[in-house]
Copies of this chain bind each other. A is one copy, B any other.
């Protein structure tokens, strides 16, 4: 499997602290050593760094860790391959353009039986099921909404409906962003935290590094972090319930939906 990291903020924020811990999971504190990548939205543009080397040792990841890029939406991924060889074209996140916007996607899991028909507008370059799913999601959005981006809520509901039938057929944790919002689907494991005033100290799990966010923020800043496993050991991360989908915008949760039957209450009845 793989590990996911996402960030969604209300002011452009760098991800250096979180990435410092996250990158260690790629071949050091964890086994995900089949490449890594990170994509930063800056306005409508995207900076993407991809590397088939283990993130814990990669010179490019050391550069990303030390070079602050300020972004409203970031998606990162470290890979433990299940399907597809270790190569640059199989390295997440993946990027495509739809409706004059870039879309970024990263996936943890696999859906071995998913064989969609593609209409030709989005074709995988590599041979992962993850890129195939991404192409099919964008194709489905294009078929549903035609020529233009729908309102955020309609986009989220469409993604939920597209995800619903797949969620039962495999492991399908994913992060998707178009630079405006970030969608997180928890199929088995995904955690999040929203940092806002009053800010406090945070200490990484994977490296002995502490930051005092009160020293590097303003009172209006709000940052949502999403990760396969919590990145810090002294903050109250929220475990997403498997079978839920979350919409983040400007650093907060603005939508939640089910992608699996809700747990049945054992009380009463």
A residues in contact (CB < 8 Å) with B: 42-52, 59-60, 63, 67, 87-91, 95-102, 120-126, 142, 147
Contact = CB atoms under 8 A, between A and B. Distances in A.
A43 B86 CA distance: 12
A123 B146 CA distance: 13
A60 B42 CA distance: 15
Copies assembled: 2
B125 A87 contact: no
B88 A46 contact: yes
A126 B101 CA distance: 9
A90 B50 CA distance: 21
B102 A125 contact: yes
A97 B126 contact: no
A38 to B, nearest CB: 12
5 contacts: A42-B88, A43-B89, A47-B51, A49-B49, A97-B125
A87 B43 contact: yes
Nearest to A95: B95
Given A59-B67, A87-B43, A120 B101 contact: no
A125 B124 CA distance: 21
A89 B125 contact: no
A125 B46 CA distance: 10
A126 B98 CA distance: 13
Contact of A96 (B45, B97, B101, B126): B97
A122 B97 contact: yes
B48 A125 contact: no
A40 to B, nearest CB: 9
A48 B45 contact: no
Given A44-B125, A45-B87, A45-B91, 16 more contacts: A43-B88, A44-B126, A45-B89, A45-B90, A45-B125, A47-B50, A47-B88, A49-B49, A59-B67, A60-B67, A96-B97, A97-B123, A100-B125, A102-B125, A120-B142, A121-B121
B87 A100 contact: no
B91 A126 contact: no
Given A48-B48, A67-B59, A101 B125 contact: yes
A128 to B, nearest CB: 12
Contacts of A46: 88
Q: Which 4 A/B pairs are nearest by Cβ-Cβ distance?
A: A45-B88, A45-B89, A100-B123, A44-B89
Nearest to A90: B45
A21 to B, nearest CB: 22
